[in-house]
Amino acid sequence: MAEPRFEMVSISVAGLNGRAHSDSGWAVMWRFLSANNRSIAQSVNCFPDGDSCALAVERLKAGLKAAQVLTVRDEQGMWLWQLRLGGESVGVSSRKYRRRLHAVNSGSSFHHLAESSGEINRTRVRP
């Protein structure tokens, strides 16, 4: 079975849905996958290249001890969690939850698994 891990994803600017991006037509973001390859989290921001994305993941991992996992509701009343470092959201749940408890458990799981994860998988995957 695979290990929980960070992975880079290349996305076209058209698929960014309002996120900040570079002018190159492509941006890079990270996602975090569980051991069973389910997406648990993704970056809030997009990055112009793989190096800046990898640096953001290293900063996130270095700051996990002080990070907060907060739950929030969206416009439809569904629950999400956000990982905040120094008052700034850096990660968000990959899915939405009907119950707050499920969002809390998922955020806690990410926080725990991300601390022990290895280096980011720099192989870019196109969605």
pLDDT score recorded for residue 42:
96
Percentage of the chain beyond pLDDT 90 is 63
Q: Does domain 5-120 have CATH number 2.30.29.80?
A: yes
User: pLDDT value at position 17?
Assistant: 52
Residue keyed to tokens 């996120």: 19
Domain ranges of the chain: 5-120
Candidates 10, 36, 44, 5; CA nearest to 125 is 10
pLDDT in tens, 99-112: 999 999 999 999 99
**pTM of this structure:** 0.84
SS3 21: coil
Q: Please name which of 32, 94, 98 lies closest in space to residue 82, comparing C-alpha atoms.
A: 94
What pLDDT shows up at residue 117?
A: 87
Name residues of the chain where pLDDT drops below 70: 1, 13-25, 123-127
Residue tagged 């990982």 (tokens)? 83
Can you tell me whether residue 83 is helix, strand or coil? Answer: strand
